[in-house]
Amino acid sequence: MSGSNILDTEKIRRDFPILDVEVREGVPLVYLDSAATSHTPNIVCECIEEYYKKINSNIHRGTHKLSMDATDAYEEAHDKMVEFVGGSDREEMIFTKSTTESINLVAQSWGLRELEEGDVIILTEMEHHASLVTWQQIGKRTGATVKYIKIDDSGKLDMEHAKEIIDKDVRMMSLVHVSNVLGTVNPVKELSKMVHENGGLVLADGAQAAPSMPIDVKELDVDFYAFSGHKMAGPTGIGCLYGKEEILGVMEPFMYGGEMIRKVTFDSSSWNDLPWKFEAGTPPICQGIALARAADYLEKIGLDKIWRHDNELSEYTMKSLLEFEGAEIYGPPIGEERGGLVSFNLEVPHAHDIASILDDYGIATRAGEHCTHPLHRKLGISGTVRASYYLYNTMEEVDKLIAGIEEIKKIFE
């Protein structure tokens, strides 16, 4: 199965045994839902098995060999992941359980303590609920006002509107790096500059960006960058939060307990060093170690190559879909940079019906509002079908998607 001229997809697919699964007898899996959760290569699965067979132990709490081995591997995983996004030191990388928890950590530890009435939080109209709902609730609790940068007809941010609402009252901007519905790649660096000139901070949601494109948090000049392991060939239950050390250093933790403390008396407590002061309790030790292995795997293949591969499949999908009368595609048009996903609708049937019928052919897509209810209301639709790609997908799989849609058109005509 050929993917493109960019990646050796046939070789890569051999690393992912789940791709050989038949969803029903005689019906092979065509997995086009990596924006929700990607699959995990053998090397990461073996890492998880090796951890539980050879070094499974709690960290920072024992002087025996297993504990010390687990501690070393877990701390080295922090080093790997901060390097993965272009940060400097281990102190800048906090392990959480998801992108959602990473955003909530900033909102609770920084937002609740720093924001007040008169302050402004900037979001975009394409935000995932992980950001939108979180900052919406923080605004209600603190009195801060939430404003949204509008999107234009092509699904990109209206930068003139951004200039209008980013002013001296802005304390925080939280925005998706790549939209999980539109595929739009937002100008994070440009927006960061605008916000910083007005004295605010920037949090980028990299859930759809970090798995497929090289990330350099220093080049983007963001104060926080959040992403998840399960979308980048890693295990579930592990997320990352990069934060500038000088900001994390003065933030208070929002979870308390073991591990995150330095000294405790009956009257008071003091906090551990970074990053441990934000990792209360037993952390996701195995998941963190396995995520570092996934990052190594992706870097060996090349994030820039993965990004171009995913974009190529998206463009091929869009060109094919536009041959269907009444097909509507959302996000930047063909020829413009976009993430490795395509959200679309047909005149009939509803998105959920399309995804359900495609599943009969073994084609796994996602249908619904993709945790972006306000965006779908803005677009005037109740849902979309989303086909999303990763390093193991091929042009032939796109052809199978298009063939499935042809059958759906025949059924409903």
* Catalytically active residues, by annotation: 371
Candidates 76, 41, 22; CA nearest to 298 is 41
d(CA 125, CA 132): 9
Q: What burial class does residue 199 get, using C-beta atoms within 10 Å of its C-beta: 0-12 exposed, 13-18 middle, 19+ buried?
A: exposed
Chain-centroid distance, C-alpha 365: 17
Question: Phi and psi dihedrals of 376, rounded to 5?
Answer: -65, -35
Decide: 278 and 109 in contact? Cβ < 8 Å: yes
Region at 60 (left for phi over 0; alpha for psi -120 to 50; beta for the rest): left
Backbone CA torsion sign across 110, 212, 323, 362: negative
Helix (H) or strand (E) holding 399: helix 395-412
Candidates 82, 146, 161; CA nearest to 111 is 146
- DSSP state, residue 119: -
- What are the C-alpha distances in Å from 129 to residues 79, 82, 98, 176, 361? 29, 25, 13, 11, 31
Joined tokens for residue 75: 């701390």
d(CA 33, CA 24): 18
